[in-house]
Structure 1
Amino acid sequence: MAEIQPVRGWRYNAELSARIDDYVSPLFDVVSAKQREALYRNPLNSIHLSVPRGEDAAGEALRRLMQWQEQGILQQDALPGIYVYYQYFRLPGSSREYCRKGFMCHIRAYDWAEEVILRHENTLPAAVNDRAELLSRTRFQTSATHGLYRDDAFELERYLDEAMLDPLYQTEEDYQGARDVLAVIQDAHVIRRFQHVLAARQIILADGHHRYEGSLAYRLARRQAAGAAYTGQEAWNYHLMYLTNAAADDLRILPTHRLLLDLPEGVSQAELLTRLQPYFTVLPLDDPYDLPERIAGKPWAFGLYLGDGQAYKLRLRPEVHAQLDWDTTPEVKALDLTVLHFFVLEKALGVVGPEAQRQWSGVAYVRNFSECLTRVDRGEARAAFITNEVTMDEVERVCHSGAVMPPKSTFFYPKTIGGFLFTSIRDEETTSPFYAAFRS
């Protein structure tokens, strides 16, 4: 199944790593405009490589990368390794500190049809092309995508814990409130054990579909250019991934709520309620802040907030579920969010079909529950639909069914960060005397 390789990571030099918080950045698709401007003011922040700006943004990233390497700002580790990456975090309303354990390495960039790496969402071509262009120019990876393997025996965790006894560096607190810690495993015997365990596993891509497809696009272009000289061992066949165990209790998926920025012409909030009633039982609630608790753990249940304290619990009438006639798998049809998109967006609001809904500007995806209520009260939105989180079991079932979820179904928390570890896919990487020792 999945082939992984250790890497000779590129990292900020020892002096800068001591202040690593100053140089890490959010991923390209979650960094806000305000965060970008603040980070750009630091001339050494990793955002200049991951989200470069200028008329020739990718060219600017390459120029800066070469400068940083020449000046020793970024330095390559002498030995290849598996990079252990722990993220410590808390969730709102809980005193428990979670620790998501994983490791970063190179993984072969498999086409979707090979069914080694499985996806659960579609991508936007413009974002894929942007990532492919940046990779093509720099041949450098600034942040790891997030993949999930399942190992109920937790065989690798003891090696991860042992490495964490001697960390390389850590953040005090990243932009999302998590503490990120990096260590490395350079023992060849242990690395081969990691390779053996992953060789028996499929990987579910949790986060980073655009970056991964960018790698696929670049790999395809290089393979076509190589022609008969292609060996399959070239560095550009590989992709930087953060791998975590899907069986772990510290793997958290947070809900993403749906905010209706507008309603179709002629549909008032009262009319919306009327249109929902053939499909849902509608129960008024006194306190909108009770909505998450009232729907928690209940299938096909949602909260609805219309402003001025108007809150409702919605639950699909079981007998109407058979009307859900989208051309997808039973695993996708069973999802809360599929029910929401079909019976609310399509049936009640007339936005017909998954593709039209993906492109519809009338819906926004918001993770913060309080923000949903506030934006409706301010008149920035007409309604908020509050959802439950997707479970890991649902993610696995959908991926193995070969289908994809509705947009913005999962938010794996916390996100990985950029600038913690860089890797190269330049040709010279495979000429390292260490590389052959870890080939399949």
Structure 2
Amino acid sequence: MSLIRPFAGLRPAANFADAVVAPPYDVLSSSEARQQAAGKPWSFLHVSKAEIDLPESTDPFDDSVYAKSKENFGRMLAEGVLVQDDSPLYYVYRLQMGEHVQTGIAAAASVDAYDADRIKKHEFTRPAKEDDRVRQIEALSAQTGPVFLVYRANAVVDGILADVARHAPDMDVRADSGVQHTLWVVRDQKQINTITAVFDEMDALYVADGHHRSAAASRVAAARKAKNPGHNGEEAYNYFLSVIFPHDQMYILDYNRVVTDLNGLDVNALLARVAESFDVEIADDPVHPERAGSFGMYLAGSWYALAIHDELIPQHDPVARLDVSLLADHLIEPLLGISDPRRDSRIDFVGGIRGLSELEKRVDSGEMAVAFSMFPTSMDDLMAVADSGNVMPPKSTWFEPKLADGVVSQLLEARASGD
């Protein structure tokens, strides 16, 4: 079974692309999605967050939401808003946010490779979020939210993508966020075969974002295989929708921390305890760390620059040497008493896209007592953790820009005319 393969993508008809393409389902609240989709009947948010078309009191996980999603998806197909390609293809997908550009390939990735850890994970998943994605896939019999994968940059693949992207795009949409989403269809069979063969030679792919979507795809595949006496491995459910980028084009932002209280310490006592493991200097400006092992701390209206003592960094442990681990192991857990950041309500996480002013705002408002700014985790560190078979602490990476929903989807079964 190939690591990836082409698929007959379901895409917006040319005159509907701007109307369809929408932010991914998990970056907007229901109220934000309702507002963004207002007056946009073909926005993919009507599929990915169908609660926006139901009473505001509706639980996003109610059965009616998945039924509405199926109804809206079916209408987009019936009205020709979404059209399926006639043959299995790859798609070059480019994201541009400001000066940053990354170019990858939309493909169907092997569930077997995922189950065998050849497509490597670096995060735990939560059952409730997995269940939600399973129900969404089964309701639509389609995968509409791509998993964001990474491959180690390869000159052959990168060259093909660059060559395809020299031609006029098949879709070019500027999202409300300002991010440009551009798609080219790879129609040349020789290029398609070469891409498949080169990926088959790769040791591994890495999940950057979409752990719940990939885990859900694995569960759907297992369930459908069990129910299919004629299973042969070629069915669409054996693969999941993905967009795969080279590792050297990734843009990872900081993922910062805020904590509600000082665990019974006053400001001076906390500073004294912090100084046992970190060099501490008061800063005149907000601290955006410039290297691994350094942190910013916003406390009682002042910024501090922290640098962990070198001897506390376990260089040969790919998880323990991460900045998120160092801060947790030497400050957040021992001083602030938070041992399980996945479940402790006293800690929250702020994506770097919001800027350091968001940290100041949440502390100055009294909602939080202290904030920490982080140096972004590197792709090399992420891959080292995944290669070691371990997982990263929660909220270790914040990838930008985000993939859009509705650009290209994968149907899991053929649809009869009029469905």
Instruction: Give the TM-score normalised by structure 2.
Output: 0.90
1:142 aligned residue (141, 144, 149) = 144
4+ aligned runs moved over 4 Å, structure 1: none
CA positional deviation for 1:136? 1.1
Tell me the residue number matched to 2:334.
Answer: 347
CA positional deviation for 1:62? 1.0
Give matches, 1:378-389, under 5 Å. Answer: 378-389=365-376
1:313 aligned residue (297, 305, 315) = 305
CA distance in 1 between partners of 2:278 and 2:261 (Å): 21
Tell me the residue number matched to 2:94.
Answer: 86
1:115 aligned residue (114, 117, 141) = 117
1:70 aligns with 2:84: no
Unaligned runs of 5+ in 2: 55-61
Measured against aligned partners, the alpha-carbon deviations of 1:73-103 in whole angstroms (never above 9, x if no partner) come to 211122321111111122xxxxxx2210101
Amino acid at match of 1:157: D
1:180 aligns with 2:181: yes
2:348 aligned residue (330, 354, 364) = 364
Instruction: Name the SS for the 2:282 alignment partner.
Output: strand
Alignment length (residue pairs): 400
Tell me the residue number matched to 2:67.
Answer: 59
Amino acid at match of 2:149: G
CA contact (8 A) 1:307 1:373 kept: no
Give matches, 1:92-241, under 5 Å. Answer: 97-110=99-112, 112=114, 114-152=116-154, 154-164=155-165, 165-172=167-174, 174-201=175-202, 202-226=204-228, 228-241=229-242
CA distance in 1 between partners of 2:239 and 2:312 (Å): 46
Tell me the residue number matched to 2:21.
Answer: 24
Amino acid at match of 1:179: Q
Measured against aligned partners, the alpha-carbon deviations of 1:241-274 in whole angstroms (never above 9, x if no partner) come to 001111x3x321111111113333x233333223
CA contact (8 A) 1:147 1:204 kept: yes
Amino acid at match of 1:303: G
CA contact (8 A) 1:145 1:212 kept: yes
CA contact (8 A) 1:260 1:363 kept: yes
CA distance in 1 between partners of 2:280 and 2:28 (Å): 37
CA distance in 2 between partners of 1:38 and 1:2 (Å): 42
Measured against aligned partners, the alpha-carbon deviations of 1:51-83 in whole angstroms (never above 9, x if no partner) come to 221541111111122222122121112232111
CA contact (8 A) 1:176 1:414 kept: no
CA distance in 2 between partners of 1:157 and 1:113 (Å): 27
Tell me the residue number matched to 2:391.
Answer: 404
Query: Cα gap change, 1:275/1:113 in structure 2, threshold over 3 Å: closer, same or farther?
Result: farther
CA distance in 1 between partners of 2:2 and 2:235 (Å): 17
Amino acid at match of 2:219: A
CA contact (8 A) 2:30 2:49 kept: no
CA contact (8 A) 2:258 2:359 kept: yes
CA contact (8 A) 1:80 1:186 kept: no
Instruction: Name the SS for the 1:136 alignment partner.
Output: helix
1:35 aligns with 2:32: yes
CA contact (8 A) 2:274 2:331 kept: yes
Amino acid at match of 1:235: A
193-202 or 34-43: which moved more? 34-43
CA contact (8 A) 1:390 1:409 kept: yes
Query: Cα gap change, 1:427/1:372 in structure 2, threshold over 3 Å: closer, same or farther?
Result: same
Tell me the residue number matched to 1:6.
Answer: 6
CA contact (8 A) 1:108 1:237 kept: yes
Instruction: Name the SS for the 1:347 alignment partner.
Output: coil
Identity fraction in percent: 28
RMSD, aligned α-carbons: 2.1
1:302 aligns with 2:302: no
CA contact (8 A) 1:2 1:203 kept: no
CA distance in 2 between partners of 1:350 and 1:118 (Å): 32
Tell me the residue number matched to 1:438.
Answer: none
